[in-house]
Amino acid sequence: MSSTYIVHRKQGYSYLFRSIIPKDLQPQLGSRQFQLSLNCGILGQAKSISHHLYNHAQCLYERMRKNGDEFQVSIDQIKDILRSELANLVQPISKLIENKTSEVSSIKEETELTNSISLSDLSTKFLNSKTEANYPEKTVNSYNDTHKLAIEVLGNVPIDSLTHEDGRDFVEVLKKLPVNRSKSYPTLTVKELLELKEVKILSYKSILKHTERISTLFNWAIKQGYTNQNVFRGKLELTRTVEVVEKHFTQQELDLVLGSALKSESLALNKPERYWVTMIASHSGARLNEICQLDVSDIQEHEGIWVMNLTGDSGDKSIKTHAGNRLVPLHPKLLKLGFLDYVEQTKSSNHQKLFPNLKKMRSTGYGTMISRWFAKYLIKLGIKKKGKNFHSFRHTVVNKLITKKVYEPFIKELIGHSHGSITMDVYGGKKPLDVLLNECVIKI
Q: Is residue 234 a part of any domain in this protein?
A: no
Where does residue 198 fall: left (phi above 0), alpha (psi -120 to 50 degrees), or beta otherwise? left
Q: Is residue 28 a part of any domain in this protein?
A: yes
Q: What is the pLDDT of residue 363?
A: 67
The pLDDT-based confidence of 98 (bands split at 50, 70, 90) is very low
Same domain, 200 and 283: no
Q: Is residue 168 a part of any domain in this protein?
A: yes
Q: What is the pLDDT of residue 104?
A: 41
Same domain, 391 and 328: yes
Same domain, 15 and 127: no
CATH of the domain at 271: 1.10.443.10
Range of the domain at 324: 251-443
Same domain, 163 and 303: no
Among the candidates 113, 147, 170, a domain finishes at: 113
Mean pLDDT of 321-334: 87
Sheet holding 299-302, edge to edge: 299-302, 305-310, 326-329
Cα separation values, 35 from 8, 9, 28, 108, 311, Å: 11, 12, 18, 10, 50
Q: Is residue 47 a part of any domain in this protein?
A: yes
Which amino acid makes up residue 273? E
pTM of the model: 0.53
Same domain, 328 and 300: yes
Same domain, 289 and 171: no
Q: CB neighbours of 245 closer than 8 A, spacing ≥ 6? A: 386, 387
Same domain, 202 and 219: yes
SS3 147: helix
Task: Determine the Cα–Cα distance for residues 135 and 322; give it in Å rounded to an integer.
Answer: 10
Model pLDDT for residues 363-410, shown as the tens digit of each residue: 678 999 999 999 999 999 999 888 899 999 999 999 999 999 999 999
- Mean of all residue pLDDT scores within the chain: 85
More confident residue, 408 or 46: 408
Least confident range from 93-107, 114-128, 419-433: namely: 93-107
Same domain, 87 and 196: no
Same domain, 104 and 138: no
Structural domains of the chain, count: 3
The pLDDT-based confidence of 199 (bands split at 50, 70, 90) is confident
Task: Determine the Cα–Cα distance for residues 371 and 354; give it in Å rounded to an integer.
Answer: 17
Q: What is the pLDDT of residue 422?
A: 46
Q: Is residue 239 a part of any domain in this protein?
A: no
